[in-house]
């Protein structure tokens, strides 16, 4: 294991940053207030006071987390914009119960709920699954209106959500005219990243529109150390290599999200919403391997260039038709198109001799999709309220039923060419495949109030998938699967109107991805047990899960919350990466392998300081901790966790707003534990602890101009990953160190 270093100065910085805002706030609160100026007229003041009360009442009338029977937590636009993030991953890492894998400040991190990613957590954009190859972290927070967190499945969305669902809702048209421009510049020791965004919205009679757009650039130059070590059957060292990887590159991206809404004379609404994501990437890198002990790699020097272009677009048309007695018909149809191209060149050699490898790979992938959804909903009331106000209250139902149909066609072409160099045998290939995925889902749900304190949600969803693929290097593959998911959630509110209890029973699943079903092989340059080739498995089955969730919530004051929750999932047909040795090469492929179980608890607290101290400054405090356990039956313990599950995570935050509202500042600390994990009887892995400390400050210069400053990853800790292999012949270990760096971002915001 690598040496873990404990930096006292970094911990001191964390503590200081978290409480700096609190100290300043107390000082300001203790300062005497300036005398109020006399009012010129009592009537305008009275009108202003009444207006303030009405707005406050309307905003506080509905809280999805508190009021909905089907549990849902909403991350608002204000929270999304707070730190000036340019990646949605950075926003989600501060949400209780959610972690992002990988090193801080680097792209490609996986979003996890209950410590699980890799398809266990469902990511939706406007209720739709993103296409294969679309990078969620390329989605800018500037185009997001809110993020919905569903910890228990709902029949309205796909039940491919064993760990939960994150639904990213893009911005919609506003009633008031708005123009906003932002420019920001981020800088670290190894990268720089400028970005700009524009938001526009207005209303013209019965029509309204909004347009959101942003563009960004990311340039970096960094060194990533890689170490290989091993022992023989007797435990004696037989391998020691270092292979630092020097990488520099540039990424450019753009998001566009126009939306138009019409309100018809009969009250119906028609909405057209489009989302476009474009990005390109280019890099060059080189690796030099120094072998101190044992056998060297196939290529001890590798020079690479890589470039890619990705484009994704989706357009949806939505019609909402109002029927009699409060009923409503919601129809939606959408088309999408996704195109990915990449080119790479690898030149490899050994022992200072001329190159023996010159490989070019060109890949082109296209994906076209069509989907349609429909939902009929109607409120029903059984019984009548007693005239004297006593007796049994009427039962209110909210019935809904609908469908979800989708068709996706994907085509991929991969061309590999190798030069005929002395000492090498060219491996040339032309691989192509096409895949067609048809999805059909039918659902019904009902939410009703049994009593004023007790409500119940039940849902049934049937979802079927048909996947067909064929290619020039493998036989045609067809797989059909279907899952019937009964769902139940209930909410009981105690008579004191402060405490409530939730319970949910769910049946969810995880379908194999299209790529994991196709038996194509992707080769590694230096093949080994810790860096194997990869191949799909056409015989994979969906993982099925039974889930139980329970939570207790206590609300007090204005915005105070204490919550404790527990969950459990029992998973059949568990899928993990198996490792095979075929034709003198190591090959990794997914296999179904028995049953797994996961359990977790989560504690959360958030409240304004004034809920504890009457005349305290405007401080908002929040904290959470999540603990997860899991066990895979087919993998010997200890540390046989599911999907390299994050065992422990925590968040701590504080926000302060000055009495004048000119200054808003705060800090957030997030912790994610790592440790050893056993993937199979011979495979294992290790990830180090990750600690992120972020601070921000927002100055409202005037009604039209803001200045936002944020510092991310103040602790700048390195992130260590290890891949382990152990059998009767010995062990092998590959360690990768991703260097940490602090990021400073300055954002200028202009409204006009």
For residues 392 and 305, give the distance between their C-alpha atoms in angstroms, rounded to a whole number. Answer: 73
Maximum Cα–Cα distance for the chain, whole Å?
A: 98
- Scan for tokens 């690479």, then name that residue: 304
What CA–CA distance (Å, rounded) separates 494 from 513?
44
- For the segment 103-118, what is each residue's pLDDT rounded down to a tens digit? 877 777 889 999 998 8
Distance separating the N- and C-terminal Cα atoms of the chain: 56
**Cβ 478 vs Cβ 486: under 8 Å:** no
Backbone angles phi, psi at 174, to 5 degrees: -105, 155
Alpha-carbon separation of residue 195 from 198, 249, 719, 745 (angstroms):
11, 17, 26, 10
pLDDT tens figures, 52-98: 333 344 444 678 888 888 889 999 988 998 888 888 999 999 999 99
Residue reference for tokens 């940053």? 17
From CA 320, how far away is CA 380, in angstroms rounded? 19
Instruction: Give the neighbor-by-neighbor strand order of the sheet with 575-582.
Output: 521-522, 533-535, 585-592, 575-582
Tokens of 83: 């730190």
pLDDT tens-digit series, residues 683-719: 899 999 999 999 999 999 999 999 999 999 999 999 9
Long-range contacts of 474-482 (CB under 8 A, 24+ apart): 474/433, 474/518, 474/519, 474/520, 477/517, 477/518, 477/519, 477/538, 479/512, 479/517, 479/538, 479/540, 481/511, 481/541, 481/542
Pair 294, 249: CB distance under 8 Å: no
pLDDT at position 114 is: 94
Among 519, 746, 726, 641, residue whose Cα is nearest residue 117: 641
Q: Dihedral, CA atoms, 506, 507, 512, 513, nearest 10 degrees?
A: -40
pTM for the predicted model, two decimal places: 0.86
Structure tokens at 385: 């309220």
**Dihedral angle, C-alpha 43, 45, 47, 49, nearest 10 °:** -150
Helix, strand or coil, per DSSP, at residue 42: helix
Per-residue confidence (pLDDT) for residue 387, from 0 to 100: 60
Spatial distance between the Cα atoms of 448 and 310, rounded to a whole number of angstroms: 45
Which pLDDT value is given to residue 576? 84
- Report how far residue 721's alpha carbon sits from residue 255's, in angstroms, rounded to the nearest whole number: 32
pLDDT digits (tens, 9 = 90+) for 603-614: 999 999 988 888
628-674 pLDDT, tens per residue?
999 999 898 899 998 889 999 999 999 999 999 899 999 999 999 99
pLDDT digits (tens, 9 = 90+) for 311-328: 999 999 999 999 988 899
Q: How sure is the predictor about 7, in pLDDT bands with cuts at 50, 70 and 90?
A: very low
Return d(Cα 371, Cα 656) in angstroms, integer.
45
CA distances from 674 to 401, 631, 645, 729 (A): 43, 16, 8, 28
Q: How confident is the model at residue 23 (pLDDT cuts 50, 70, 90)?
A: very low
Q: What is the model's pLDDT at position 119?
A: 86
Give residue 136's pLDDT band: very low, low, confident or very high (50, 70, 90).
confident
Whether the predicted pLDDT of 386 surpasses 70: no
Question: What span, in angstroms and rounded, lies between the C-alpha atoms of 736 and 752?
Answer: 48
Task: Say how far apart CA 228 and CA 230 lie, in whole Å.
Answer: 7
Q: What is the DSSP letter of 160?
A: -
Q: Domains in the chain and their CATH numbers?
A: 8-29+176-751 (2.40.170.20)
């Amino acid at each position: 294991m690598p040496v873990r270093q404990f930096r006292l100065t970094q911990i001191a910085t964390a503590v200081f940053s978290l409480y700096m805002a609190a100290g300043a706030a107390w000082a300001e609160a203790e300062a005497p207030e300036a005398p109020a100026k006399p009012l010129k007229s009592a009537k305008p003041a009275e009108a202003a006071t009444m207006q303030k009360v009405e707005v406050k009442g309307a905003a506080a009338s509905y809280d999805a987390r508190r009021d909905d029977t089907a549990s849902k937590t909403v991350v608002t636009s204000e929270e999304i914009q707070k730190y000036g993030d340019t990646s949605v991953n950075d926003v989600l890492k501060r949400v209780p119960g959610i972690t992002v894998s990988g090193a801080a400040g680097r792209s490609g991190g996986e979003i996890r709920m209950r410590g699980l990613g890799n398809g266990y957590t469902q990511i939706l954009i406007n209720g739709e699954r993103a296409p294969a190859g679309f990078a969620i972290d390329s989605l800018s927070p500037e185009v997001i209106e809110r993020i919905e967190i569903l910890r228990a499945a709902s029949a309205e969305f796909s039940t491919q959500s064993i760990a939960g669902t994150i639904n990213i809702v893009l911005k919609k048209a506003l009633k008031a005219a708005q123009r906003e421009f932002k420019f920001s510049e981020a800088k670290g020791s190894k990268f720089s990243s400028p970005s700009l965004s524009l938001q526009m919205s207005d209303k013209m009679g019965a029509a309204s529109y909004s347009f959101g757009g942003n563009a960004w650039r990311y340039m970096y130059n960094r060194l990533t150390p890689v170490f290989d070590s091993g022992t023989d059957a007797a435990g004696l060292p037989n391998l020691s290599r270092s292979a630092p990887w020097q990488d520099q590159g540039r990424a450019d991206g753009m998001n566009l999200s126009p939306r138009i809404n019409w309100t018809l004379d009969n009250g119906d609404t028609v909405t057209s919403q489009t989302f476009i994501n474009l990005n390109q990437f280019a890099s060059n890198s080189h690796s030099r391997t120094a072998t101190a002990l044992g056998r060297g790699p196939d290529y001890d020097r590798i020079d690479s260039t890589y470039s890619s272009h990705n484009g994704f677009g989706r357009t949806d048309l939505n019609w909402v038709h109002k029927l009699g007695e409060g009923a409503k018909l919601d129809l939606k149809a959408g088309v999408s198109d996704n195109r990915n191209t990449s080119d790479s060149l690898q030149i490899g050699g050994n022992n200072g001799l001329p190159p023996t490898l010159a490989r070019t790979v060109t890949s082109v992938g296209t994906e076209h999709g069509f989907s349609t959804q429909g939902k009929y909903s109607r409120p029903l009331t059984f019984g009548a309220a007693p005239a004297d106000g006593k007796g049994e209250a009427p039962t209110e139902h909210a019935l809904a039923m609908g469908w979800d149909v989708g068709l996706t066609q994907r085509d991929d072409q991969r061309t590999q060419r190798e030069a005929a160099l002395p000492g090498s045998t060219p491996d040339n290939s032309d691989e192509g495949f096409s895949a067609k995925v048809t999805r059909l889902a039918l659902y019904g749900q009902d939410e009703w109030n049994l009593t004023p304190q007790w409500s119940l949600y039940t849902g049934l969803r049937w979802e079927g998938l048909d996947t067909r693929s064929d290619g020039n290097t493998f036989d045609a593959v067809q797989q059909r699967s279907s899952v019937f998911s009964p769902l139940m959630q209930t909410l009981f509110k105690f008579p004191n109107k402060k405490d409530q209890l939730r319970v949910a029973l769910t049946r969810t699943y995880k379908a194999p991805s299209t790529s994991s079903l196709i038996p194509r092989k992707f080769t590694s340059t230096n093949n080994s047990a810790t860096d194997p080739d990869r191949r799909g498995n056409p015989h994979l089955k969906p993982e099925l899960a039974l889930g139980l969730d329970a939570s207790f919530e206590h609300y007090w004051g204005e915005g105070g919350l204490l919550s404790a929750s527990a969950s459990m999932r029992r998973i059949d047909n568990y899928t993990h990466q198996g490792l095979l040795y075929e034709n003198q090469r190591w090959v990794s492929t997914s296999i179904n392998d028995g049953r797994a179980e996961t359990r977790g608890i989560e504690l959360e607290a958030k409240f304004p300081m004034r809920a504890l101290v009457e005349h305290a400054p405007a401080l908002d405090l929040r904290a959470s901790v999540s603990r997860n356990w899991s066990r895979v039956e087919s993998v010997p313990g200890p540390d046989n966790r599911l999907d390299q599950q994050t065992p422990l995570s925590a968040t701590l935050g504080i926000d302060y707003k000055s009495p004048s509202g000119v200054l808003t500042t705060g800090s957030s600390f997030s912790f994610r534990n790592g440790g050893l994990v056993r993937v199979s009887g011979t495979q294992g892995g290790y990830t180090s602890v990750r600690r992120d400390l972020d601070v921000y400050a927002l100055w409202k210069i005037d009604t039209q101009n803001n200045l936002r400053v944020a510092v991310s990853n103040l602790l700048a800790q390195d992130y260590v990953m290890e891949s382990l292999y152990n059998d009767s012949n010995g062990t092998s270990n590959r360690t990768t160190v991703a260097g940490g760096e602090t990021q400073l971002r300055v954002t200028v915001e202009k409204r006009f």
